Amino acid sequence: MLRAVLTDDVLGAVRALLVLELVAALRAAGRMLRTSGGRPLDAAQPGSPAGAAPHTAPGPIAAVVPVLDEEGRLGPALDALSACGPELVEIVVVDGGSSDGTRQLARAAAARDPRIRLVEAPPVPPGWNGKAWNLNVGLLTVAAPWLATIDADVRVGPTVLAAAVERAERDGLAALSVATRQRVADAGSALLHPAMLTTLVYRFGLPNVVVSSPAEVQANGQLFVARRDALVAADAFRAARASRCEDVTAARALAAHGARIGFFEGDAVVRMYDSWRECARNWPRSLALHDAFTSPARTWLGLLEALFAQALPLPTLLFVLALRHHIWFAHEAIAIAGALVAMRLGVLGGTRRAYVDPPFWYWLSPLADLPALALIVAALLRRRHVWRGRTLVGEPGTPA
């Protein structure tokens, strides 16, 4: 029966699949090698290596926290910002029309810390999404030379903003963002979130890098630090006004103006979603990282490489192992698929540090690679997206 099923055409398809997996994995491995060896922010502190510029105090920083119905998250985020040093001169909470107790919470925090103030954004104009509009309002509100945009679910360490600006000033960066450490909410999130995060590693490489090409930019709007004058010159938040990944688009707009952009691990913790369902519903919308600065061909090529290099080797290995007595090239197939699965497990071990006390289910997250990619592709193709009851606008020329 199996011999009848495993026709020459089927065996040819398996061999072609193995070739595609190997080629995609070599390309992904090349990216990881090119981006390896960088130093995280906590390694870029005073006492810098020989030849580096002498340490100076970082320039003044203003934090902008865009919010919409964040009563349940904003308090700890503001407490963490209040614990930062005097380099943080202003904390502006830009509210986009909350209907819960977000504004009252911000006013109460402002009574405790004079650096905090609440700004109520005007109504979102046509062609803008709410977060990009709030960020633009915040940019026009503050005057400090450095701007840090921080999501309400982020808990920054007390020195991370100073370390970010110090690194940017020392290395001549217009902007950098922090690869935050994640807390997962439940077992489903421990499976799905790492699988989604790993697609970024396979498509773009590792953190702790500096790039200047818009196509290579990685950015994380949960904690994004930039020179205010560079943001204004590039009109970066306007460029991101209709983007599904406004953080990446703003950084790419800076790179398109000749800026160098950094992406580093640092001392900040976030719990992005309260359940795996929320993660599956909301994160894929931005994870394709497709915007006006990227061609559809490049976006789809990256997703296909993640499919062949990340998601398919494990099913291929299991298939070949199950039918090894009926596949004449089984030894070669097992060696190739096994090596790619070993690569995936190596990445899994490396991304462990991106999570705070991950549960056992984290180590089974490769089983969620195919569903994760399916969710990202579905979100890329979907034309209508809704966030907290508001329909998001889309960029002309993008698939979603």
Q: Is residue 216 part of a domain?
A: yes
131 and 237 part of one domain = yes
Domain holding 313, by residue range, is 2-35+297-384
99 and 220 part of one domain = yes
26 and 159 part of one domain = no
268 and 379 part of one domain = no
Q: Is residue 12 part of a domain?
A: yes
> Residues 31-52: pLDDT tens digits?
999 999 999 997 444 444 433 4
Q: Is residue 217 part of a domain?
A: yes
123 and 18 part of one domain = no
CATH number of the domain that residue 260 is part of: 3.90.550.10
128 and 261 part of one domain = yes
pLDDT value at 67 more than 80: yes
Average pLDDT, integer, range 58-85: 94
> Residues 301-318: pLDDT tens digits?
999 999 999 999 999 999
**Distance of alpha carbon 335 from alpha carbon 122, whole angstroms:** 60
Are 306 and 202 a contacting pair, CB within 8 Å?
A: yes
361 and 215 part of one domain = no
Q: Is residue 257 part of a domain?
A: yes
221 and 367 part of one domain = no
Q: Work out the burial of residue 46: count CB atoms within 10 Å of its CB; fewer than 13 is exposed, 13-18 middle, 19 or more buried.
A: exposed
Residue 309 is classified by DSSP as I
Model pLDDT, residue 45: 47
29 and 87 part of one domain = no
> Residues 148-178: pLDDT tens digits?
999 999 999 999 999 999 999 999 999 999 9
Number of compact structural domains in the chain: 2
Angstrom distances, CA of residue 111 to CA of 114, 116, 117, 259: 7, 8, 9, 38
Q: Is residue 396 part of a domain?
A: no
**Distance of alpha carbon 216 from alpha carbon 349, whole angstroms:** 24
268 and 328 part of one domain = no
**Residue type at 330?**
A
Model pLDDT, residue 395: 64
Domain boundary (275, 305, 320) is at: 275
84 and 18 part of one domain = no
95 and 171 part of one domain = yes
> Residues 129-144: pLDDT tens digits?
999 999 999 999 999 9
**Distance of alpha carbon 194 from alpha carbon 280, whole angstroms:** 12
> Residues 330-383: pLDDT tens digits?
999 999 999 999 999 999 999 999 999 999 999 999 999 999 999 999 999 998
